[in-house]
Chain A
Amino acid sequence: DQQVKQNSPSLSVQEGRISILNCDYTNSMFDYFLWYKKYPAEGPTFLISISSIKDKNEDGRFTVFLNKSAKHLSLHIVPSQPGDSAVYFCAASDKGGSEKLVFGKGTKLTVNP
């Protein structure tokens, strides 16, 4: 039973436009959410996170939005660059500081020049 879902396996956008990657979760105990970026043959790198007490967090070109009532979060990349082409994983953790992160299956973003 998937607790974190990324329903789009892939996304293709033009350079300079906005990329929107979506993530849904089912566990209402999740209180912290993270996005990781992964290039082929490399380990994932942390990108941005958001606590459940917020609905938005911004870091440069990257913004994460959280809609708790819908159990939905999204990552916006503006403007998209070819170097952003990678697989993006959404992850969640539950209350109490559990050591575990639950990852989605990932979305492969391709930014075309």
Chain B
Amino acid sequence: DVKVTQSSRYLVKRTGEKVFLECVQDMDHENMFWYRQDPGLGLRLIYFSYDVKMKEKGDIPEGYSVSREKKERFSLILESASTNQTSMYLCASRLAGYEQYFGPGTRLTVT
């Protein structure tokens, strides 16, 4: 079974803080993704990575950056958290084909 884990299920941060969200997959997948899910907006792609140290912007990269130093780990960084970044953040990974496997999500609240 593919396992994708995220470092925190719930996180509360203050405006202006630097926030790190970690994602780890255990299946040697090449591709990893970060999404955010908001009510009425579905899943929106923030960034994705198709190899170590490689990254590409998704549909809503503004205010975020990513890091992939090892194949199994993909980090999402909020450089200076803002209240409009309060959301559910979902990490996913994929080996080949189309199906992506998702982690349990991190509910981030920025106050």
- Count contacts between A and B, CB distance < 8 Å: 53
**Contact residues on B (Cβ < 8 Å of other chain), bracket:** 20 to 34
Q: Please, which residue of chain B has its CB at the minimum distance from the CB of A102? A: B45
Size of the chain A interface, CB-CB below 8 angstroms? 22
Complex alpha-carbon distance, A99 and B35, angstroms = 13
Q: Please, which residue of chain A has its CB at the minimum distance from the CB of B38? A: A105
Partner of B99, one of A41, A46, A97, A105: A46
Chain B's nearest CB lies how many Å from the CB of A11? 15
A34-B99 contact, Cβ under 8 Å, with A43-B4, A99-B94, A105-B40: yes
| A29 contacts B by Cβ under 8 Å | no
Contact of B98 with A103 in the complex, beta carbons under 8 Å: no
Contact of B41 with A105 in the complex, beta carbons under 8 Å: yes
In the assembled complex, which residues on chain B have CB atoms less than 8 Å from the CB atom of A97? 97-98
Give the B-binding residues of A (Cβ under 8 A): 6, 9, 32, 34, 36, 41-46, 49, 89, 93, 97, 99-101, 103-106
Give the A-binding residues of B (Cβ under 8 A): 4, 9, 31, 33, 35, 40-45, 48, 50, 58, 90, 92, 94, 97-105, 107
